[in-house]
């Protein structure tokens, strides 16, 4: 049998909805990933770095947040956006990033993370 | 004078209208004396004057007695024929201040020529400006002494008035053109401007040399400031054409400002609509995510399909109710008592006691609390105070500086058991409220029923 998709990889999760965060964490754990978080605030997430990759919600408590994405970009850490908004909300500098529309499917999210980590 | 001599004179003086007047005049009554005593030189001069094609007048002797020809008779207007034989000062008192000094110089031998000289003459009773190009020259007697003034002239009044009229028309045309040019430029610049109010203010101030130029909705009169429509401008001595032009400029500027405002409002409305659509999409997708989770987790404890169905639809109903409430009142916040009553609606009100002052929750807090109350209520109906007539439920709340405290207290429950595993309901209350709202919660299973404390931070209150 193949090794799990995210075996031994740490994945930081930023998501302000408890149940969605839990769902994401379950998906990641099932794929062999080691979850850092989940966090509902950018400050808490920044303090928990480093990570191998990340899943980032965009709208946190009513505000668009790209601070963590900018930091990860600087550090060359791959990440996937997850949002209920359309991809059009992404600023130009992050427009090329993988984008997972909520509600998300396991295969889709894990596939995107694997591609990003490659 | 004998008749034949008169005939002879008549021949000498030609056959002009004025010839007969001159011959018939009683010169003996004038300082010049009777005509037969006039020297041949004077007679020759008079002959020349009478036959001349230009208006001409000879002012003879020291008293400057007038003898003039047909052309000059027309210039005299109402003063002809009375002017013949009159001293010129008597005939023309209104211009003596001009002519007197000139005659004095000519009597000294000077020749004086004036082009388009202005003479306010009273030819038909009242003074009227008239212009003449004329030359004053000395008349000499046989001994060579200056003995009078000869004035030859053309009246140029008609030409001068025509020129004046033309200049005036030209000036009016230029002014109209300038006004039109200003209005056109104003319109052009207003059309292209992002800030028509600023553009109009600057252009009007510059064109009129005005200060304090501003557009006001309900202008109040201000000392020294001109108000035209919705425009005010300060300047000394506005002229009527300036005010008319300012009115036109104000009208154009106000139209442009109005148009810009309407366009901005439309742009804002479109932007807002886009924002609303994005928010709607976000909400719908998040809701779908949560509903998916409820569907999944409702299977945790369901004994069979019917049990699953009841649990799932109960939770979906609670979620739908609060969504409807949030959508109805997106900005006002949701009343805690109303949320509680909605979730406890299905249970007999007899044993229910709610106590607390009105408090409004933010939409997200209301949404999570609804799910939590739904779980508490269904649990109470299955195992706790809402199961039978003996049970009592009291929910009380209060707000202090740190936030809102809610106490859900069940009593009269005979066989209280602490659940051994974390169900969906407990997870919502103990974990989701903390994660999503920053709440702290405590579930105590006391001897006669459950006591649940929920503390929400102030930021979750509307």
Contact A86 B288 (CB under 8 A): no
The tokens for B117 are: 């000289």
Residue B111: the pLDDT is: 96
Residue B5: the pLDDT is: 55
Round to whole Å and give the CA distance between B344 and B352: 9
Nearest CA in chain B to A60: B436
Residue A2: the pLDDT is: 58
C-alpha A115 chain-centroid distance: 13
C-alpha A12 chain-centroid distance: 6
Q: In chain B, what are the domain boundaries?
A: 3-155, 162-257, 303-460
Question: How many other CB atoms are found less than 10 A from the CB of residue B355?
Answer: 11
Complex ipTM over 0.95: no
Digits of tens for pLDDT over chain B (462 positions)? 444 555 565 566 777 889 999 999 999 999 999 998 999 999 999 999 999 999 999 999 999 999 999 999 999 988 999 999 999 999 999 999 999 999 999 999 999 999 999 999 888 888 899 999 999 999 999 899 999 999 999 999 999 999 999 999 999 899 889 989 999 999 999 888 888 899 999 999 999 999 889 888 888 888 888 888 888 999 888 888 889 899 999 999 988 888 888 988 999 999 899 888 888 888 888 888 888 888 888 887 778 889 899 889 999 998 888 888 877 777 788 899 988 988 888 776 677 889 999 999 998 899 889 999 999 998 888 888 888 888 889 999 999 998 999 999 999 888 877 776 668 888 889 889 999 899 999 999 888 889 999 999 999 888
Round to whole Å and give the CA distance between B89 and B98: 11
Burial label for B456, CB within 10 Å (0-12, 13-18, 19+), is buried
C-alpha B171 chain-centroid distance: 28
| Chain A, chain B: beta-carbon pairs less than 8 Å apart | 51
**CB-based contacts of B238: which residues, under 8 Å, 6+ apart?**
B226, B246
Nearest CA in chain A to B276: A85
Contact A19 B282 (CB under 8 A): no
Residue B50: the pLDDT is: 93
Q: In chain A, what are the domain boundaries?
A: 10-117
Contact B435 A40 (CB under 8 A): yes
**Residue of B396, B390, B443 whose CA lies nearest to B413:** B390
The CATH number of B3-155, from 3.30.300.30, 3.60.150.10, 3.30.450.20, 3.30.230.10, is 3.30.450.20
CATH class of A10-117: alpha beta
Confidence of residue A1 (pLDDT cuts 50, 70, 90): very low
Residue B282 sits at the chain A interface (C-beta within 8 Å): yes
Query: Residue A17 is nearest to which of B284, B431, B436, comparing CB atoms?
Result: B436
Cα→Cα distances B194→B145, B147, B256, B257, B272, Å? 85, 83, 10, 10, 21
Alpha-helical regions (H) of chain A:
18-30, 42-48, 67-75, 106-117
Burial label for B93, CB within 10 Å (0-12, 13-18, 19+), is exposed
Helix axes B40-50, B17-24, angle to 10 degrees: 150
The tokens for A5 are: 């998709």
Could you read off the pLDDT of A64-91 as tens digits, one per residue? Answer: 888 889 998 999 899 999 888 878 788 8
CATH class of B303-460: alpha beta
Angle at B5 between CA B3 and CA B7, to 5 degrees: 70
Round to whole Å and give the CA distance between B99 and B87: 13
Cα→Cα distances A89→A24, A28, A53, B169, B455, Å? 21, 25, 22, 66, 35
User: By three-state DSSP, how is residue A36 classified?
Assistant: strand
**Residue of A78, A68, A67, A80 whose CA lies nearest to A27:** A80
A-chain CB neighbours of B293 within 8 Å are 19-20, 22-23
């Amino acid at each position: 049998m193949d090794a799990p998709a995210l075996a031994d990889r740490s994945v930081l999760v930023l998501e302000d909805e408890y149940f969605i965060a839990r769902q994401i964490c379950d998906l990641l754990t099932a794929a062999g990933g080691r979850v850092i978080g989940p966090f509902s605030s950018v400050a808490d997430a920044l303090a928990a770095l480093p990570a191998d990759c990340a899943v980032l919600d965009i709208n946190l408590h009513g505000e668009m947040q790209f601070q963590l994405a900018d930091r990860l970009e600087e550090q060359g850490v791959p990440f996937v956006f997850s949002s209920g908004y359309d991809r059009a909300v992404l600023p130009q500098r992050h427009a090329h990033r993988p984008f997972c529309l909520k509600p998300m499917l396991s295969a889709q999210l894990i596939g995107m993370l694997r591609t990003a980590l490659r | 004078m004998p008749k034949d001599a008169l005939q002879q004179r008549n021949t000498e003086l030609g056959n002009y209208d004025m010839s007969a007047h001159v011959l018939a005049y009683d010169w003996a009554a004038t300082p010049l004396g009777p005509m037969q005593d006039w020297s041949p030189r004077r007679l020759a001069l008079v002959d020349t004057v009478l036959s001349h094609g230009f208006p001409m007048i000879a002012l003879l002797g020291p008293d400057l007695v007038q003898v003039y020809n047909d052309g000059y008779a027309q210039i005299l207007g109402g003063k002809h024929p009375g002017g013949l034989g009159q001293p010129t000062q008597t005939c023309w008192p209104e211009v003596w201040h001009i002519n007197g000094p000139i005659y004095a110089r000519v009597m000294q031998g000077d020749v004086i020529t004036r082009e388009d000289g202005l003479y306010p003459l009273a030819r038909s009773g009242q003074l009227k400006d008239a212009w003449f190009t004329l030359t004053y020259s000395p008349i000499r007697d046989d001994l060579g002494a200056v003995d009078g003034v000869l004035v030859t002239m053309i009246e140029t009044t008609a030409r001068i008035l025509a020129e004046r009229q033309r200049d005036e028309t030209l000036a009016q045309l230029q002014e109209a053109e300038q006004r039109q040019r200003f209005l056109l430029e104003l319109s052009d610049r207003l059309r292209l401007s992002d800030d028509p109010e600023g553009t109009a203010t600057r252009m009007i101030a510059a064109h009129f040399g005005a200060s304090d130029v501003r557009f006001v909705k309900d202008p109040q009169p201000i000392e020294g400031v001109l108000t035209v429509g919705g425009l005010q401008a300060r300047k000394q001595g506005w002229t009527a054409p300036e005010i008319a032009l300012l009115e036109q400029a104000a009208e154009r500027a106000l139209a442009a400002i109005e148009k810009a405002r309407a366009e901005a409002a439309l742009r804002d409305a479109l932007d807002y609509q886009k924002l609303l659509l994005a928010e709607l999409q976000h909400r719908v997708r998040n809701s779908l995510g949560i509903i998916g989770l409820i569907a999944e987790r409702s299977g945790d404890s369901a004994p069979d399909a019917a049990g699953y169905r009841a649990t799932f639809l109960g939770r979906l109903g609670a979620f739908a109710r609060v969504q409807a409430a949030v959508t109805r009142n997106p900005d006002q916040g949701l009343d805690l008592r109303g949320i509680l009553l909605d979730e406890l609606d299905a249970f007999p009100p007899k044993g229910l006691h709610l106590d607390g002052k009105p408090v409004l929750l933010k939409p997200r807090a209301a949404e999570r609390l609804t799910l939590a109350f739904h779980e508490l209520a269904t649990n109470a109906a299955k195992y706790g105070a809402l199961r039978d007539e003996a049970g009592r439920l009291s929910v009380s709340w209060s707000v202090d500086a740190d936030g809102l405290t809610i106490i859900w207290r069940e009593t009269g429950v005979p066989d209280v058991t602490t659940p051994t595993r974390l169900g969906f309901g407990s997870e919502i209350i103990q974990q989701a409220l903390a994660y999503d709202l920053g709440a702290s919660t405590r579930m105590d299973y006391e001897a006669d029923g459950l006591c649940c404390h929920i503390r929400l931070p102030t930021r979750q209150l509307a």
